[in-house]
Amino acid sequence: MNSVLIVGSIAYDDVKTPFGSVKNSLGGSTIYASLSASLFSKAHIVGIVGHDFKKEHVELLRSKNIQLEGLTHDSGLTFHWSGRYEKNMNIRHTLKTELNVFSKFHPTIPLEWKKISYVFLGNIQPEVQLDVLNQLESPKYIILDTMNLYIQSHRKALLKVLKYVNLVVVNDQEAILLTKANNLITAAEKIQLMGPDTVIIKKGEHGAILVNKKNVFVIPALLLKKVIDPTGAGDSFAGGLIGFLAQQGSYDWITLKKAMLIGTVMASFCVQDFSVQGLLKINHKSVHDRWLEFYKTSSFPHFKL
Amino acid sequence: MNSVLIVGSIAYDDVKTPFGSVKNSLGGSTIYASLSASLFSKAHIVGIVGHDFKKEHVELLRSKNIQLEGLTHDSGLTFHWSGRYEKNMNIRHTLKTELNVFSKFHPTIPLEWKKISYVFLGNIQPEVQLDVLNQLESPKYIILDTMNLYIQSHRKALLKVLKYVNLVVVNDQEAILLTKANNLITAAEKIQLMGPDTVIIKKGEHGAILVNKKNVFVIPALLLKKVIDPTGAGDSFAGGLIGFLAQQGSYDWITLKKAMLIGTVMASFCVQDFSVQGLLKINHKSVHDRWLEFYKTSSFPHFKL
């Protein structure tokens, strides 16, 4: 199995949605992305956890063949996030963010991992993302996620790390905030001028857009009757993306298109249950079946006018 | 050329968008839908205009081979609508609605038109839509559009006319308002219980969903760098839809899928200029080229996991 390196947050989340709530549930970008990527590649995660991080969660990750030598165990408490979704689940309120051990996160990439070619830099401080890149020997393909906070308050560091990145994954609001563009195509073009030759703009339930200098690929999301908890959808998407690219050992346009479709499939599993439950239930066959369903519902018939 | 019958409003519009404004410009559901349909079929329009309706507009419609024997000329003023779009053009404010002659609209279908098989009932009072249907001899395929006002204040009549309709075209907000569902699939299912075996839910810039009892087809919209004026997009969509179905002489699932794609293409032309200008610039080749572009940017690659 090909390897991917995933760096980001590891968290315990309290989440309330119109369909229920969970407390101290496993979360964080590293967790969602690695569980998603593990369906396609061997995930190597780098992150920090506190003394409260449960043994059962270590075992869970291990059972998915996720490599844990990059995990730092600290004496403090694990990063804790608390949030609530409105009835329109596009609207999320962060109720509490307790960084805890995460404020001391200075990732050290294990020696043998420095040669990993496919890298996902989850949504963390751009200074830390840059620090990770500086430790790598020969990354072939780097995907970066970021958020409003870093676009606004860590802009300089973000612009610096962007120069080294192949693909940026942001949502529509972040793309506009980052570029001040008034439409998504212009935003994608402006992001390309910052370094990455490829951009994905996610539109949540409305799908996603993949853009490079020559091509555009626009897809809807899977239509779901019930979304239980949107937390982690973006990271599951990115995890599927990097995992699939590493599995294919390629990042040409057609492979990127396929990877975005697979990312969309992975996100659809994520949102159908709380925390990481939606990702734990699935296997190669479920992913295959849902991809066929996606193809059936959204592939275009070819015809001439 | 096969025939379509189109009934709806004919208007002069004042429209202001972030990109400019127009006054007394040609508009109304009948106009947008028939101009769009005329690329594929022979459009027969039924509507009412005032003494101020310009001769050049009659000539314009005639030049597109649109049949005008169903046009009533009245001594009052033509229906006048005035609206403004916010920077986020999904938000529209109606500034003024002067029904004028439109309040006296009692459509009479010309004798020879009563045999037309493909019918689009544009967004007008459901009582009037029903009156039209009662005059038809053997409609094969009826598409209906409606709006918030009629869903809320003419619900009984709307539910009555829905029983005779094959396909309903509504936007996402209207679908939710009509059914009180909390997601679009459930909304589509509930609308089917009201009569129509097929439902299209439009999501504006985010695409559209086609649903019948057995199948779902979900597509994005064309990604446009600049939208000048969204007015008439939905009617251009519906016009392309009915025009294409009539041209094909079929309304099986695969033809409906194609028709929705063509409707999306027609809407994309409409929004790129004020009033009907975007629809007037195009011909068979432009539609063909844009369909190819749409196919290129959004058709799925087929692959196995």
| Residues B242-261 pLDDT 10s | 999 999 999 999 999 999 99
Q: Say yes or no to pLDDT of A90 above 90.
A: no
Q: Is B223 on the interface with A (CB under 8 A)?
A: yes
Choosing among A218, A265, A266, which should be mutated to test the B contact, i.e. which has the most B CBs within 10 A?
A: A218
**Is ipTM over 0.85?**
yes
Q: Is A255 on the interface with B (CB under 8 A)?
A: no
Q: For residue A225, which residues of chain B lie inside 8 Å, CB to CB?
A: 183, 185-186
C-alpha distances in Å from residue A231, one per residue of A1, A122, A166, B78:
28, 14, 25, 52
pLDDT digits (tens, 9 = 90+) for B273-305: 999 999 999 999 999 999 999 999 999 999 998
pLDDT digits (tens, 9 = 90+) for A264-300: 999 999 999 999 999 999 999 999 999 999 999 999 9
Say which of B287, B298, B305 has its CB closest to residue A300.
B298
Is A207's CB within 8 Å of B209's CB?
no
Q: Is A184 on the interface with B (CB under 8 A)?
A: yes
Rounded mean pLDDT, B197-220: 97
Closest-CA residue of chain B to A298: B218
pLDDT digits (tens, 9 = 90+) for A4-13: 999 999 999 9
pLDDT digits (tens, 9 = 90+) for B150-207: 999 999 999 999 999 999 999 999 999 999 998 999 999 999 999 999 999 999 999 9
Distance, in Å, from the CA atom of B253 to the CA atom of B216, rounded to the nearest integer, reads 10
Average confidence score pLDDT of chain B = 97
pLDDT at A84: 97
pLDDT at B167: 98
Closest-CA residue of chain A to B215: A297
Could you give the domains of chain A? 3-291 (3.40.1190.20)
Choosing among A172, A199, A298, which should be mutated to test the B contact, i.e. which has the most B CBs within 10 A?
A: A298
pLDDT digits (tens, 9 = 90+) for A121-131: 999 999 999 99
Say which of A185, A226, A257 has its CB closest to residue B301.
A257
Secondary structure element (H or E) that encloses residue A21, with its range: strand A20-27
Average confidence score pLDDT of chain A = 97
Secondary structure element (H or E) that encloses residue A4, with its range: strand A3-7
Enumerate the β-bridge partners of residue A13: A25, A81
Is B304's CB within 8 Å of A288's CB?
yes
Q: Is A257 on the interface with B (CB under 8 A)?
A: yes
Q: Say yes or no to pLDDT of A305 above 90.
A: no
pLDDT at B291: 98
pLDDT at A104: 92
Higher pLDDT, A62 or B1: A62
pLDDT at B283: 97
Q: Say yes or no to pLDDT of A20 above 90.
A: yes
Higher pLDDT, B59 or B88: B59
pLDDT at A81: 97
Q: For residue A222, which residues of chain B lie inside 8 Å, CB to CB?
A: 218
Closest-CA residue of chain B to A203: B206
Angular region, A48: left φ>0, alpha ψ -120 to 50, beta rest: beta
